[in-house]
Amino acid sequence: MSGFLGSTVGKKYLMGITGLIWAGFVLAHMAGNLLIFVSHDAYNSYGHALTSGNIIYVAEAVLVLALIVHVYTAISLTIANRSAKDQRYAVTASGKKKTSLASRTMAVQGSLILVFIILHLITFKYGTHYTTNVHGVEMRDLARLMVEVFQQPGYVVWYFIALILLGFHLKHGVNSSFQSLGLMEGTYRNTWKKLSIAYAVVVIAGFLSQPAYCFLAAQ
Query: What average pLDDT does the segment 89-113 reach?
Result: 65
CATH number where 161 lies: 1.20.1300.10
- 184: which residues sit within 8 A by CB, 6+ positions away? 175, 178, 192, 193
Domain, as residue range, for 67: 2-217
- Regarding predicted confidence, which is higher, 65 or 54? 65
Phi-psi region of 88 (alpha: psi -120 to 50; beta: other; left: phi over 0): beta
Distance CA 127, CA 118 (A): 12
Distance CA 170, CA 173 (A): 5
Asked if 26 and 203 count as a contact pair (C-beta separation under 8 A), the reply is yes
**138-153 pLDDT, tens per residue?**
999 999 999 999 999 9
First to last CA, the chain: 58
pLDDT at residue 75, rounded to an integer: 87
Supply the pTM of this predicted model: 0.84
Domains in the chain, number: 1
